[in-house]
Amino acid sequence: MTDALVIGAGPAGLMAAEALAAAGRRVLVVEAKPSPARKFLMAGKSGLNITHASPDFMGAYPQDWLAPVLADFGPDAVQDWCRGLGQEVFTGSSGRVFPVAMKASPLLRAWLARLNAAGVELRSRWRWVGFDGTDFAFETPEGGALLQPATTVLALGGASWARLGSDAAWVPWLAARGVPITPFQPANMGFVVHWSPHMARHFGQPVKGAALCLPDGRRERGEFVISSKGLEGGGIYAVSRALRQGASLRLDLLPDLNVQAVAAKLAKARHGDSVTARLRKLGLSPVAMGLVQEWGRPLPDDLAALIKALPVPLAGPRPLDEAISVAGGIARDGLTDGFELRALPHVFACGEMLDWEAPTGGYLLNACLATGLWAGRAAAQDGR
């Protein structure tokens, strides 16, 4: 019989494996893809944002039940963990924390080497295909295989980026066993905008320096990108949860000026200046001017007020598989405090399989690592 089985070799699964091995369990990690942690590596291509050194770190998570998990393995602990793998880190001006090497691959190589030295076995191209009675059934390069481990940690990801392994194929298998599942929704995603043909020349261009404004008074400063499909990028992701829940969005294109100052600048325009010339003299970029003319027509007499609160006509979120992450998954009431599935004794779950969400900026990855460690430590005590 297999002692401790971890299904899924992303950051949550590898962290669970490390906790199990540290407790003296014999650990087998199986991964459906040819190599481990593919989404982790993809996330690190533009710089691996491993955590966030914010004084209000916990405020980024709407789920109170994550508090003890993140207190146990928060930003300081994550940075120490990176250093323990030989990867020095630094904190950027925004509070985001990165390895000095920036990429994910050096950290992953060191981590896999440490797991191997601890006796953790990793098998790739082992795809979980459901249950056969009480056994876990797999498709492997050698054919079908059945395992009946003493304890199991599921770390199969959510429902975004299916090509990297997070395809939510596990949902019906667990639901059939009585595990409560909150339906998945996209998180940290772009939104659809139906553009006129005039906006095509701006596709791929970033909008910088704007504030994204919600009805509750929240203002987020962040860059976002105009794409042929709509709006995407960090600024949009920061408010995506509220937008998904139905909040309207307005842009303040000159957030460092009040409306009176903008009006005063506009009043200095020469008689006969075109709208484009007047907007250019305000210092707006061509793409920002394009947005004013796309969404502000017919242009009002109070152009300053429009520039300070430009309505954004969103047509819903982009599809689930395009999202960076997801909301939804295994409901909290289906888990014990140690993340054991109440409906499936000796089976634990972690990472994006669980029903939580967080913004980008290091929060997502920190929670994946923390929930993996939490579930792995609990699973290590299973049967003892």
Q: C-alpha distances in angstroms, 15 versus 22, 59, 167, 259, 384?
A: 11, 24, 21, 51, 20
- In the prediction, which pLDDT does 149 show? 97
What's the CA gap between 17 and 2, in Å, rounded?
14
User: What confidence score (pLDDT) does residue 43 get?
Assistant: 83
The reported pLDDT for the residue numbered 19 is 98
pLDDT tens for each residue of 246-304: 999 999 999 999 999 999 998 887 777 788 888 898 999 999 999 999 999 888 889 99
CA–CA separation, 116 and 195 (whole Å): 52
Give the predicted TM-score (pTM) of the model.
0.93
Query: For 260, left (φ over 0), alpha (ψ -120 to 50), or beta?
Result: alpha
Q: What is the pLDDT of residue 1?
A: 73
What CATH number has the domain spanning 4-186+325-380? 3.50.50.60
In degrees, rounded to 5, the angle at the alpha carbon of residue 241 between the alpha carbons of residues 244 and 47 is 125
Q: 3-class secondary structure for the chain?
A: CCCEEEECCCHHHHHHHHHHHHCCCCEEEEECCCCCCHHHHHHCCCCCCCEECCCCHHHHCCCHHHHHHHHHCCHHHHHHHHHHCCCCEEECCCCEEEECCCCCHHHHHHHHHHHHHCCCEEEECCEEEEEECCEEEEEECCEEEEECCCEEEECCCCCCCHHHCCCCCCHHHHHHCCCCEEEEEEECCCEECCCCHHHHHHCCCEECCCEEECCCCCEEECCEEECCCEEECHHHHHCHHHHHCCCCCEEECCCCCCHHHHHHHHHCCCCCCCHHHHHHHCCCCHHHHHHHHHHCCCCCCCHHHHHHCEECCCCCECCHHHCCEEEEEECHHHECCCCEECCCCCEEECHHHECCCCCCCCHHHHHHHHHHHHHHHHHHCCCC
Confidence of residue 313 (pLDDT cuts 50, 70, 90): very high
Q: Indicate whether 384 pLDDT > 80.
A: no
User: Which pLDDT score, from 0 to 100, does residue 175 have?
Assistant: 98
C-alpha span between 118 and 91 (Å, rounded): 30
Residue 320 is predicted with a pLDDT of 93
Q: What is the CA radius of gyration of the chain?
A: 24
Average pLDDT, stretch 347-363? 96
Q: Which residue in the block uniquely carries the two structure tokens 């993340």?
A: 339
CATH 3.50.50.60 range(s) for the chain read 4-186+325-380
* Mean pLDDT for the chain overall: 95
State the Cα–Cα distance between residues 275 and 298, nearest whole angstrom: 12
